[in-house]
Structure formats: C-alpha cells, structure tokens
Amino acid sequence: MKRSFLVSLSLIFFQILTGWSQTPVPNHDFEEWNIFPNYEDPVGWDTPNEEISSIPIFGTTLVTRSTDHYTGSYSARLESKSILLIGTIPGFMTCGTLTIDLATLSFEITGGAPVYDMPTHLKGYYRFFPQGGDSCAIGIGLFKTIDNTPYEVGIGSFSTKDTVPDWSYFSAWIDYDMILQPDTMNIIALSSATETPTAGSVLFVDNLFLDYTVGVDPQDPASGINIYNDQETKRLLVFLEFDRMEATRITLYSMTGQSLVMVSGEEMRNGKLVVPYDRLRQGIYILEVVHEGKRFVKKYFLIP
C-alpha cells in the first residue's frame, strides 16, 4: 500500500556511503546492438521494431542505430512514423519487455533492469526534432516486487517540445513515495509523448546514467526547483531559482487531468509559491513546473 513519503537526503547519503553499488544503465551509450534480418535493437532494450517490421509491405523500423552520437560511435535514433492501416506510432524503447498486439493495437510493458540503490536523477544527452507541436519524453520508474507484484517506489521524467538541434544535457529528478528499496527500474524514451503522435518527430538519445548528487548542479535544469510537502500545515511549498521567471508556469492537477491551481512565474513572489491542499480530497495529485518549454513533474499522495 502506498503512503506519502518525502525522501530524506541524509538517508540517500547513508545508503551510498555504506557501500551500496551504484546501478549502471544497460548499454548506456548504445554502442552494442543486436542485429536481426529486418531490424536492429540496442542490447538491453526492447523496441516495437520486431512487430512493426513484420507487417507485410508496410513494415518499417522506429528505433535505429545512428552514427550521430554524443560520445562513442553510436546513439539510439527514435522516429515517429505513419503506418498505413494502423496510424502514427512513436519511436519507443524500454529497458523492460515490450509486448505489442497489432490486432488490437495494444501494448504492455513488463519487467526491467535490476537496481541496487536509490538514485536521485536520471540524466543523459539528447537531440530532438519535433513536428507539428509534438513533444518527446524520457523517464524512469522504480519498482519493488512483493509477492510477485511490482509496486511503484519512485518515478521521474523529462519532456520538451522545443527543437534541440545540438546534443544537450537533460535531467529528470526521481520522486520517491514509498519507503522501500527498489529492485527493478524501467527507463523509457518516446519520440512522441502526446496523445496524437506526429509523423516525422525524431529523438536521439545517448549516454544515459543514474546520478546520486543532491547538491546544486549548474548544468542541471531541475536544480533550480525545490518543492516541499509541509504535511503539518497541509501546504506544498514551491521555490524556484530561475533567471527568467516570466518563462515559467506551475500547475497542480488531479489524476483526472483537472487543473486545480495554475500560476505563472510572474505572479510568484520572489520565486516562492504556497499551494494549500487542506480542502482537497485525499488522493494522488500532479504538480507540474514548465520552464522555457521544459516540463518537470512531481507526484504527491496528499492527505488533507
């Protein structure tokens, strides 16, 4: 059963200093690829390539090995493509297992890679070329398996709709909401993260890694965001440290997508915002910070 949990930074430090192994991301630089007759897949990752490439006449691949790289020789290139009789499908990869049913156009993601600690961020490098207002997403979920059932322990995501022609650094902080050591992680990347994907959107991904720092990183776009859940006074306290506050928007959503609070950066006083939740119903809520086209999301289980 889930409960509200504000991760203690001292606890994370303790776990690292007491010798827990830091977890590597599988094939983090995408240098290794499995080669099949009609497609390639990065080692340690699953994609829709096997199923999509098998479609008679219209078969194609959505994830390919690219020599356009940040370091090394290769990166992963994800492209959203329109397939006749099916529709537009985003380029997608996961370090879990992806099962696609083309007859019902449904899919399922299970499993993942092992994790041995509690990372604070998923980071890496990307390039993005959106079409028609599309956006990309790179995210991570951390799970603990109890009695053969995986329970979500933490989640983090990064998303943008901006054109990013040069290799750029991204950071997705991980929000933990259960006091359990995760044993499985699932990292996903999407060339289209909207409900209606746009053909031609292309995302490049390279050099993914898990980070354990809790200090301020000047390269980290999430380092200017601090959010505290003051359970005693039933308030979310938001502190932002951005040079251009006018390019910032904060929104609190219910799980049904209803916007409950929306504040622009210009309305905040000295980069501070108080969001009371004493009159909300108990449940899960999403706090979204959008800054210069980049989207950061934290999930909270609030108990008024």
Q: Do you know the residue count of the chain?
A: 304
- Both 134 and 241 in one domain: the answer is no
Burial 247-262 (b: 16+ CB within 10 A, else e): ebbbebbeeeeeeebe
User: Would you place residue 13 in the very low, low, confident or very high pLDDT band (cuts 50, 70, 90)?
Assistant: very low
User: Would you place residue 290 in the very low, low, confident or very high pLDDT band (cuts 50, 70, 90)?
Assistant: confident
What integer best gives the mean pLDDT of the chain?
Answer: 84
Instruction: Examine residue 201 and state whether it is found in any structural domain, yes or no.
Output: yes
pTM: 0.69
Structure tokens at 1: 């059963």
Partnered with residue 81 across adjacent β-strands are: 89
Q: Among 182, 216, 250, give the residue marking a domain's end.
A: 216
Count other Cβ atoms within 10 Å, centred on residue 204: 24
Single-letter code of the amino acid located at 37: P
User: Would you place residue 66 in the very low, low, confident or very high pLDDT band (cuts 50, 70, 90)?
Assistant: very high
pLDDT at 232: 72
pLDDT surpassing 90 at residue 59: no
Write the CATH number for 283.
Answer: 2.60.40.3080
User: Would you place residue 218 in the very low, low, confident or very high pLDDT band (cuts 50, 70, 90)?
Assistant: low
User: Would you place residue 1 in the very low, low, confident or very high pLDDT band (cuts 50, 70, 90)?
Assistant: very low
Lowest mean pLDDT among 8-12, 227-231, 234-238, 293-297: 8-12
Q: Among 168, 200, 216, give the residue marking a domain's end.
A: 216
Instruction: Examine residue 137 and state whether it is found in any structural domain, yes or no.
Output: yes
Single-letter code of the amino acid located at 150: P
Longest Cα–Cα distance of the chain, Å, equals 62
Query: Could you tell me how far CA 78 lies from the centroid of its own chain?
Result: 15
Backbone angles phi, psi at 262, to 5 degrees: -135, 125
Range of the domain at 262: 224-304
What lies within 8 Å, CB to CB, of 193 at 6+ separation is: 90, 134, 135, 136, 137, 159
pLDDT, tens digit, 9 for 90 and up, residues 67-105: 999 999 999 999 999 988 788 999 999 999 998 887 777
